[in-house]
């Protein structure tokens, strides 16, 4: 299996802190074209895996963000989301 591992905040989103906050408020803060890029990668038979330093308390929100991020006709490929086992405050440092 071919694997691509991508960070979420600052890679899929435009920045770390605003990448945490703005999508939770319903605002798109993703890089333009990221969904198409990752869709094209997955079409070449790569499995996607997403990493984040977000806290364990944000696990559901983070998975939902990745699984619903759509730009035009391109949707982010499915893949496991690996997050920090720490709480919110330690994850921000």
> Measured between alpha carbons, how far is residue 6 from residues 25, 26, 43 in Å?
23, 22, 16
The reported pLDDT for the residue numbered 53 is 83
Give the pLDDT confidence of 21-65 residue by residue, as tens digits.
666 667 677 889 999 999 999 999 999 999 988 888 888 988 999
The reported pLDDT for the residue numbered 89 is 56
- Global confidence as pTM: 0.83
Query: Rounded to an integer, what distance in angstroms lies between the CA atom of residue 11 and that of residue 28?
Result: 14
> Measured between alpha carbons, how far is residue 24 from residues 41, 61, 67, 72 in Å?
26, 8, 14, 20
Sign of the CA dihedral 29, 13, 9, 43? Answer: positive
**Residues counted in the chain:** 93
């Amino acid at each position: 299996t071919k694997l691509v591992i991508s960070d979420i905040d600052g890679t899929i989103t435009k920045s770390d802190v605003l990448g945490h906050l703005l999508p939770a408020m319903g605002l798109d803060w993703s890089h333009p074209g990221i969904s198409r890029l990752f869709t094209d990668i997955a079409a070449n038979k790569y499995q996607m895996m997403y990493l984040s330093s977000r806290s364990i308390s944000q696990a559901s929100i983070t998975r939902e963000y990745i699984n619903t991020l759509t730009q035009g006709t391109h949707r982010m490929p499915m893949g496991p989301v690996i997050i920090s086992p720490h709480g919110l405050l330690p994850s921000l440092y």
